[in-house]
C-alpha cells in the first residue's frame, strides 16, 4: 500500500453476524470495494462489538464462524487483501486500551443522547439501569476503532451517522485537551445509504428477517422477492402503482438501472402487475450477483485462505495501532 498517491485513509467495520444481506452490500460494501482504488483502506470484523448482542455462551460461540462467513462475502464482493488491510478487531488489542482512555473523556450525556442507543433500549426492552455498560459505550469503541488508525473517512450506511457525529465530538475534545492528534472522521455514504427491508417498513436487517442474503441461491432470492410487500394501496392489477412508496421499485434502481424508467411507467399506468414486477427484480438481483456468488464458492473451497488473510491483516494493523497508542500515551502523560 503506497500512502503518497492516496486521498486519505479509510476505516470501516461490520459486526460479524454471519452472511451479509443486500442492505449491507448496497449501503456500505460496494463503497468499501470502490474506494480501494483511491484510499488506503482498513476493514475490520468487529467481534468485540458483536458481544453487545451475544450475552450467552451459545451466542459467543457463533462469532468466529460468523467472521468467516462475513469475510468470505467481503472477498467475493471484491475487497482485496492485496490492496487493503482486512483484520479482526480483537486480534489488535490496542483498541481496548484506547477505548478505555477515550471513555474517561466522554461525558455520559453524549452517549445517552445517541438516537441508536435509545432505539436499542426499546428493541431490547431494557432501561438505562439494566442495559450493559458496553452497549452504552458502543460508539466510544467505534471511535477507538477509527482513530487508532487515524482514518479520516468512514464508509457506512446511513444508520451509522449518529455514531460518527459522536466520534467527531470525542476527537475534538481529545485534540482540544491534548493537542491535535486525530483527524475528524467523516462518513462516506453510497447513493443508496438506506435500503428498506422486504416488509416495506424498516431498514433491511437480519434481526427483522426482512432481508435477502447476498449469497442466497437464485431460488431463495426469487422466493423472498415474491413475498415482498409492495404499494399497500394497489389491491387490483388495474390499480396504478406508486413506485415512490414501493420498496421493490427502490431495489430496481440498483439492480435494474437500465429498465427503471420503463418499469416506472408500466407500474404507474397499471400495465404491469406486482407479480411480474417482482419477477423482474428477482432476475435483476440474480443476474447482478451471479459472479459474486460464484466467486464466493470458489473462495470457500480454498482451505485456510480467510485465516491467512486475517493473520496477515492483524500484523499490518498492529504496526499502525502500536504507533498511535504510543503517541496517545505520551500526549496524555502516561508514557
Ligand atoms: P451491520 O450489519 O449493522 O453491522 O451493518 C454493516 C454495514 O452495513 C454498516 O455500514 C451499516 O450502515 C450498513 N447497513 C446495514 N443495513 C443497511 C441497510 N438496510 N441499508 C443500508 N446500509 C445498511
Ligand atoms: N457500528 C457499526 C455497525 O453496526 C460497526 C462498526 C464498529 C464500525 N466499528 C466501526 C463501522 C468503525 C465503521 C467504523 O455497522
Ligand nearest to the CA of 19: 1
In a domain, 211, yes or no: no
Alpha-helix residue ranges (DSSP H) falling in the chain: 22-24, 30-35, 47-50, 57-60, 63-77, 94-103, 108-113, 115-124, 133-136, 138-148, 161-178, 218-226, 247-255, 260-268, 274-300, 305-332
Task: Name the percent of the chain lying above pLDDT 70.
Answer: 99
Give the relative orientation of helices 274-300 and 63-77 as an angle to the nearest 10 degrees.
100
One domain for residues 155 and 242 = no
* Number of domains within the chain: 2
167 lines ligand 2 (CB under 6 A): no
One domain for residues 228 and 326 = no
pLDDT in tens, 140-194: 999 999 999 999 999 999 999 999 999 999 999 999 999 999 999 999 999 999 9
Q: Please give the number of the atom of ligand 2 that sits closest to the Cα of 157.
A: 15
One domain for residues 75 and 187 = yes
| Spacing, Cα 276 to ligand 1 middle (Å) | 29
328 lines ligand 2 (CB under 6 A): no
One domain for residues 150 and 264 = no
**Residues in contact with ligand 1 (CB, 6 Å cut-off):** 14-15, 17, 23-24, 27-28, 156-157, 159-160, 193-195, 203-205
pLDDT in tens, 293-303: 999 999 999 99
Q: Which helix (H) or strand (E) holds 43?
A: strand 40-45
- Look up the domain containing 25 and give its range: 9-195+304-331
In a domain, 274, yes or no: yes
| Spacing, Cα 328 to ligand 1 middle (Å) | 31
Check residue 124 and give its pLDDT.
87
| Spacing, Cα 58 to ligand 1 middle (Å) | 24
Ligand nearest to the CA of 15: 1
One domain for residues 36 and 134 = yes
**Lowest mean pLDDT, pick from 48-57, 158-167, 287-296:** 48-57
Mean residue pLDDT across the chain: 95
Amino acid at each position: 500500500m503506497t500512502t503518497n498517491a492516496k486521498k486519505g485513509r479509510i476505516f470501516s467495520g461490520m459486526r460479524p453476524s454471519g452472511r451479509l444481506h443486500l442492505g449491507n452490500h448496497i449501503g456500505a460494501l460496494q463503497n468499501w470495494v470502490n474506494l480501494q482504488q483511491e484510499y488506503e483502506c482498513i476493514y475490520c470484523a468487529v467481534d468485540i462489538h458483536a458481544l453487545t448482542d451475544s450475552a450467552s455462551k451459545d451466542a459467543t460461540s457463533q462469532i468466529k464462524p460468523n467472521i468467516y462467513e462475513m469475510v468470505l462475502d467481503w472477498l467475493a464482493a471484491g475487497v482485496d487483501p492485496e490492496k487493503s488491510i482486512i483484520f479482526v478487531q480483537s486480534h489488535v488489542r490496542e483498541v481496548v486500551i484506547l477505548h478505555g482512555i477515550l471513555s474517561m473523556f466522554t461525558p455520559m450525556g453524549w452517549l445517552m443522547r445517541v438516537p441508536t442507543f435509545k432505539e436499542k433500549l426499546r428493541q431490547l426492552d431494557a432501561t438505562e439501569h439494566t442495559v450493559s455498560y458496553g452497549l452504552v459505550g458502543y460508539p466510544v469503541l467505534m471511535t477507538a476503532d477509527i482513530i487508532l488508525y487515524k482514518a479520516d473517512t468512514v464508509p457506512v450506511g446511513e444508520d451509522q451517522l449518529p455514531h460518527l457525529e459522536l466520534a467527531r465530538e470525542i476527537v475534538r475534545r481529545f485534540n482540544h485537551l491534548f493537542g491535535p492528534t486525530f483527524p475528524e472522521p467523516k462518513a462516506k455514504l453510497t447513493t443508496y445509504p438506506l435500503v428498506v427491508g422486504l416488509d416495506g417498513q424498516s431498514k433491511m436487517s437480519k434481526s427483522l428477517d426482512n432481508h435477502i442474503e447476498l449469497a442466497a441461491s437464485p431460488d431463495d432470492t426469487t422466493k423472498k422477492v415474491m413475498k415482498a410487500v409492495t404499494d399497500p394501496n394497489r389491491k387490483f392489477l388495474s390499480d396504478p402503482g406508486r413506485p415512490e412508496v414501493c420498496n421493490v421499485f427502490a431495489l430496481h434502481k440498483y439492480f435494474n438501472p437500465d429498465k427503471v424508467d420503463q418499469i416506472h411507467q408500466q407500474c404507474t399506468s397499471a400495465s404491469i402487475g406486482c407479480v411480474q414486477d417482482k419477477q423482474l427484480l428477482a432476475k435483476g438481483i440474480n443476474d447482478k450477483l451471479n459472479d459474486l456468488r460464484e466467486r464466493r464458492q470458489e473462495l470457500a473451497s480454498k482451505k485456510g485462505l480467510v485465516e491467512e488473510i486475517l493473520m496477515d491483516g492483524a500484523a499490518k494493523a498492529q504496526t499502525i495501532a502500536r504507533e498511535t497508542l504510543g503517541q496517545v500515551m505520551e500526549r496524555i502523560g502516561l508514557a
